[in-house]
Amino acid sequence: MEVLDFGTGVKQKVSSTASSAGGAIAERADFRELVFKKLVDISSPKLYLACADGTHPVRIVIVGIKTLPCLRGWHPH
């Protein structure tokens, strides 16, 4: 599956209460969802059904490949 874009994030607030050492205390980290964007293709119906019935994948493998500038926009199909 070719991914067009992805995103995630983490936010960690700093408490307004100072520690006994005088520094600020960091609160728990708030992790955002890992979101992938892709075009509709042959895998889409299975993904839609899995989302609709609450199925969770057993294993996900993410492979990142840096695209050469001269190949951006080129697709091998």
29's enclosing H/E stretch is: strand 24-31
pLDDT confidence band for 64 (50 / 70 / 90): confident
Tens-place pLDDT, residues 13-27? 877 666 566 666 778
Q: Structurally, how many domains does the chain consist of? A: 1
Evaluate whether residue 76 is within a structural domain.
Answer: no
Q: Name the residue range of residue 65's domain.
A: 5-71
Greatest Cα pair distance, the chain, in angstroms, is: 62
Please give the pLDDT value at position 60: 82
Evaluate whether residue 77 is within a structural domain.
Answer: no
Output the pTM of the full model.
Answer: 0.52
DSSP string, 12-25: EEEEEEEPTTSSEE
